[in-house]
Amino acid sequence: MKVSLKWRIGLIATVVAASLLFLTPTLAWDYKEGRSRLPEWWLNSKILPRNAINLGLDLQGGMHLVIGVNTEEAVQNETARLRERLEEDLSTEKIPVSEVKLSEDKARIELAFPDAASLDQGTQYISQNYTVLVPAGGKGTLTPSYTLLDRQANVLRENAVRQVRETLISRVDEFGVAEPSIVTQGKDRILVQLPGVKDPDRVKKIVQRTAKLEFMLVEDGAPTQEALLGQAKYNGQVPAGARLIPQKDKDGNITMWYLLKEDPMVSGDNLVDARMAFSQDVAGGAIVTFQFNPQGARDFSKLTGAHIGEPLAIVLEGVVKSAPVIRAKIYDRGQVEGNFTPEEATDLAIVLRAGSLPVHIRIEEERTIGPSLGQDLIRKGKVATFWGTALVAVFMVAYYSLGGLVADLALVLNLVFLMAMLAALQATLTLPGIAGIALTVGMAVDANVLIFERMREELRNGKTPRSAVEAGYQKALSAILDSNLTTLLAGIVLYQVGTGPIRGFAVTLSLGILTTVFTAVVCTRVVYDLMFMGRGRIQKLYIGIKV
């Protein structure tokens, strides 16, 4: 018994020391300045903890975005690409086919064969050469349709999400946000958390841009759509192999319509750099200059060399920015003009550098919290927790006298351990998390109440103080474990379900249960064991009743 007591004291001392160590960076953290006040040697050491408790976005201010990725678009794009290739291949193989078209929802390739012989030939060719396509209907008829293999489609969807995430990471990095967190959530969502962002609207714009930059040859142009397509040669239809794209002025009004040659000759995917610059020739002054990688430079020089004297449209996100005439062969540099303000040009340069998004995205949830609100909430949370703790502590002493004091000691240790665990695990403290801490205080004393009530009973039944303590701890244990385990269960479910702030609550509630069991059962027991030792041992149990 004595040895085990020594071990227990050793354990508690170790836990207390470790807790204080883990709490030091938090105590020395200057939350206003956002930096540590610890000395250099501490920060440079490899072993000592450096991280203060993480504050959630709701407490430190910042931006929380849930971005939905249109993963179907990736599948549709691939299906469209395959359709094109298939049409070409069928014609090179001289397999007669009357139609190879995309279904309305762009999910299937629909074919039409003139006769049974070509149908056989065609389906056989496809099953041999297009293993990613599976029959999707029209089996046995002359109009079979094909769709992408499920496995393949899933790979494309996953890739789309991964690419979007990578692009967002580099955009946010380029913009310069401290400690961003950008993680995938579920199948088609990305959670972006940006603490301390000052200009949320601007970040949102940068995040959302597709930043698709294309260079396309101009076939024709006119101020209105009617004037352009009304010409006799078009007969009101956009000709095959061309795309109708507008040019807009600063206020978003369409000033010009262009017919551009469909497949873009060169795209922004081949950029290595993009910068904001000033140019005297341009209204507004700001432009974005860019530089191609070797592949892009090769394509670009080929394009510009072959079409000197023709206009080349620079298309950004589906809008013509400018359509200058190619004056000479250009190799690896170029610029985008378009009535930019310096800020717009800077942001455009950021998104061009970071790359384009492969598919469209949409903001599905947005929460922006200003910094002043968080400080107010922290202050209120602290005040409420302080008074809650103080009142409970006073009540415990009033009710259980010396026993209450022991329980209060456990309560203080509990708070220290809980905060230390938050720091050590780098969990995030949120506003509901503070409520969780306060609640832990209220529920933590329950374990000691259970023990003390048992002790009182045992004393009333005439047991000696020593055996009353023994019995109190022993008999209360199963109730303490049971009741805490069930609360832990609720906490874990909450962690699984909750996002952001609510998760913070689940974390403090669950960790609080662990620290509660430790402090209320192990720590207080040691105090009682010590009381019954040595010459100064107590003859009476002071737990608020006369026996």
Partner 1 sequence: MEFIRPGISLNFVGVRLYAVALSVILVTASLVTLEWPGIRWGIDFAGGTEIHLRLDPKLHIDQLRQAVDELKLGGTQVQEFEAGTLEGTATNEYLVRVAAPTEGGESAEQAGHNAELVGEKLKQEFGEGSYEILETNFVGPRVGKDLRIKGIEALGYTLLGLLLYITFRFEFRYALGAILALIHDAVITMGALIVTHREFDLSTIAAILTILGYSINDTIVIFDRIREGGKRLRRLPFKEMINLMLNETLSRTLLTALTVFITVFCLWLLGGGVINDFAFAMMVGVVTGTWSTLYVASTFVIWWEDIRARRRTTTAPLKPAGKET
Q: Is 450 in the site for partner 1 (CB under 8 A)?
A: yes
CA distances from 375 to 128, 369, 382, 432, 499 (A): 65, 11, 11, 14, 21
**# of chain residues touching partner 1 (CB under 8 A):** 74
| Stretch of 74-82, 275-283, 288-296, 450-458 lying at the interface with partner 1 (CB under 8 A) | 450-458
Residue appearing with tokens 């580099």: 170
Chain residues 350-369 in contact with partner 1, contact rule CB under 8 A: 362-369
- Out of 16, 149, 479, 530, the only residue in the binding site for partner 1 (CB under 8 A) is 479
Q: How many CB atoms lie within 10 A of CB 426?
A: 11
Chain residues 204-263 in contact with partner 1, contact rule CB under 8 A: 204
| Stretch of 31-39, 99-107, 133-141, 438-446 lying at the interface with partner 1 (CB under 8 A) | 438-446
Chain residues 141-200 in contact with partner 1, contact rule CB under 8 A: 200
Q: How far is the CB of 424 from partner 1 (least distance, A)?
A: 24
Chain residues 56-95 in contact with partner 1, contact rule CB under 8 A: 66, 68
| Stretch of 157-165, 287-295, 298-306, 503-511 lying at the interface with partner 1 (CB under 8 A) | 503-511
Q: Is 412 in the site for partner 1 (CB under 8 A)?
A: no
Q: Which two tokens stand for residue 339?
A: 């009535």
Which amino acid appears at position 331 of this protein? Y
Q: How far is the CB of 78 from partner 1 (least distance, A)?
A: 24
Q: How many CB atoms lie within 10 A of CB 78?
A: 18
φ and ψ at residue 222, rounded to 5 degrees: -155, 155
Q: How far is the CB of 476 from partner 1 (least distance, A)?
A: 9
Residue 249 vs 482, nearer CB to partner 1: 482
| Stretch of 148-156, 299-307, 344-352, 484-492 lying at the interface with partner 1 (CB under 8 A) | 484-492
Contacts of 459 (CB under 8 A, 6+ apart): 465, 468, 541, 543, 545, 547
Q: How many CB atoms lie within 10 A of CB 67?
A: 24
Q: Which two tokens stand for residue 436?
A: 């969780």
In what order do the strands lie in the sheet containing 108-112? 99-102, 108-112, 145-148, 133-137
- Out of 85, 241, 376, 426, the only residue in the binding site for partner 1 (CB under 8 A) is 376
- Out of 392, 413, 468, 507, the only residue in the binding site for partner 1 (CB under 8 A) is 392
Q: Is 383 in the site for partner 1 (CB under 8 A)?
A: yes
Residue 30 vs 482, nearer CB to partner 1: 482
Helix (H) or strand (E) holding 313: strand 312-316
Contacts of 340 (CB under 8 A, 6+ apart): 284, 286, 287, 288, 348
- Out of 502, 514, 526, 527, the only residue in the binding site for partner 1 (CB under 8 A) is 502
| Stretch of 87-95, 163-171, 279-287, 374-382 lying at the interface with partner 1 (CB under 8 A) | 374-382
Angle at the Cα of 52 (from 47 to 54), degrees rounded to 5?
A: 130
